[in-house]
Amino acid sequence: MEWGPFNVPAHMALSFFTRDRKSLLARCRDDYATKMRLKYAPFYHAMESQDGTTVRLDGKDLIMLSSNDYLGLSFHPRVIEAGRAAMLRWGTSTTGARTSNGSRTYHLELEKRLAAFLGREACHVSVAGYLACLSSVASFAQKGDVILADKNIHSCLWDGIRLSMATVERFSHNSPDDLRDVLNAINSEAAKMLVIEGVYSMEGHIARLPELSEIAEEHGCFTVLDDAHGFGVLGRQGRGTADHFGLNERIDIICGSLSKSLASTGGFVAGSSEVIEYLRTNSKQTIFSAAISPSQAACAQASLQIMQDEPEHLERLWSNTRKYRALLKSLGLDTWESETPAVPIVLGSKERVYPFWKALLEKGVFTVMSIAPAVPAGKDLIRTAISAMHTDEQLEQIAEAMAYAVRKL
């Protein structure tokens, strides 16, 4: 190897000296948001250990109050054992895409069970909820189509919309009236798609599915429902938002994540057989991306079975949620009218969010800040989420921490 100055290989020395000529490197170096993030370190906390809803950060035990482990199955012995057994049987990874060398019978088994649970003909699983939901839009819509999108949908759905190259029309969050107005105004013969969430991850709102899906039917919209936060939480045994309203047949695609109630990592898209087979032919996120690993799939499948065998987790989730919401209400906190275990505490500005978050941390409660533009201006908030795994003692400690944070405001 050729060596340059300062004992570094010549090619690295070259890049060191030409660094300033690369405007993309300058963009990274000068990025204000990155500088602020590194200065205040509000994100990317690496916990040193975890035991259920207790995590250790900087040597201190904290209650995790912002994970999406709604049913609390991530430490369930059957889930852990399923993941271990799958790895022993199948190895760590298939190291390939489903299309080519990466498909295994365990994928088909999980898909069959998810489809049956959701009352769908077929299902397709992938490595991330983000990719699954993105592909639920990008695989079906194309240039010339019109997508009707709730203004508050998740980033993965916006990415899917952009990739599809379809025209997008936004409507006010969860507003059937605005959806109807927008559809009447565009009056287009183009193919149409409605993109909504079942439970909105930041707000905790449940989609007004009866009205929205009725309007979608009237206008011939193909409906995509991202139920990442409704799955496991709403409906019979946690079948999700469509089941909660008894409107399964009105929704063309239900997509979601394996990394929330299913206590794994990955995503799914469920629908009719012809729609799922079309996705398998056309989704770049499937064709060119590796299959989910044996242990990920096995953990999701075990959780799915537990959801059906052990109703106590769902019951506990909702009783914890009711207690928690009552607590926040008694403290006069604004929860954006959340109806679900995803409960935001809206504080309205980053100047109020940061000290509130710090005060909770001081009292042993870990939460996540979400500030504009991640949320609409004036809605800067602390995102909290309740789990079935939170104990009564933890809920008491959370109550004390909240009262303390409110006093500090």
Ligand X SMILES: Cc1ncc(COP(=O)(O)O)c(C=O)c1O
**Which residues bind to ligand X, rule: CB under 6 A?**
128-130, 133, 154, 156, 197, 201, 226, 228-229, 257, 259, 267
Q: How far apart are CA 143 and CA 162, in angstroms?
A: 10
- Least spacing, CB of residue 256 vs ligand X, in Å: 7
User: Is residue 257 within 8 Å of 132, Cβ to Cβ?
Assistant: yes
- Least spacing, CB of residue 266 vs ligand X, in Å: 7
Q: How far apart are CA 178 and CA 380, in angstroms?
A: 24
Nearer to ligand X, 164 or 257 (CB): 257
Spatial neighbors of 233 by CB under 8 A, at least 6 apart, are 70, 199, 240, 261, 314, 317, 340, 341
Closest CA to 76 of 320, 296, 303: 303
Residue nearest to ligand X (CB): 129
Nearer to ligand X, 219 or 239 (CB): 239
Nearer to ligand X, 346 or 385 (CB): 385
- Least spacing, CB of residue 156 vs ligand X, in Å: 5
- Least spacing, CB of residue 25 vs ligand X, in Å: 29
> Which CA distances in Å does 372 have to 160, 194, 249, 291, 342?
22, 25, 36, 35, 18
Nearer to ligand X, 366 or 399 (CB): 366
- Least spacing, CB of residue 8 vs ligand X, in Å: 38
Nearer to ligand X, 228 or 328 (CB): 228
- Least spacing, CB of residue 98 vs ligand X, in Å: 17
User: Is residue 143 within 8 Å of 279, Cβ to Cβ?
Assistant: no
Instruction: Provide the H-helix boundaries in 41-165.
Output: 77-90, 105-118, 129-138, 155-164
| Sheet with 368-370, edge to edge strand ranges | 342-346, 381-385, 368-370
Q: Both tokens of residue 78?
A: 């059957």
- Give the three-class secondary structure for 56: strand
User: Is residue 129 within 8 Å of 269, Cβ to Cβ?
Assistant: no
- Least spacing, CB of residue 224 vs ligand X, in Å: 11
Nearer to ligand X, 161 or 405 (CB): 161
- Give the three-class secondary structure for 144: coil
Spatial neighbors of 287 by CB under 8 A, at least 6 apart, are 97, 99
Cross-strand partners of 56: 49, 61
Nearer to ligand X, 268 or 401 (CB): 268
- Least spacing, CB of residue 3 vs ligand X, in Å: 43
Chain centroid offset of residue 162 CA = 19
Chain centroid offset of residue 383 CA = 13
Q: Both tokens of residue 64?
A: 């995790």
Nearer to ligand X, 79 or 128 (CB): 128
Nearer to ligand X, 82 or 342 (CB): 342
- Least spacing, CB of residue 193 vs ligand X, in Å: 16
Distance in angstroms between the alpha carbons of the first and the last residue of the chain: 60
By DSSP bridging, strand 192-197 and strand 221-226 are: parallel
- The length of the chain in residues reads 409
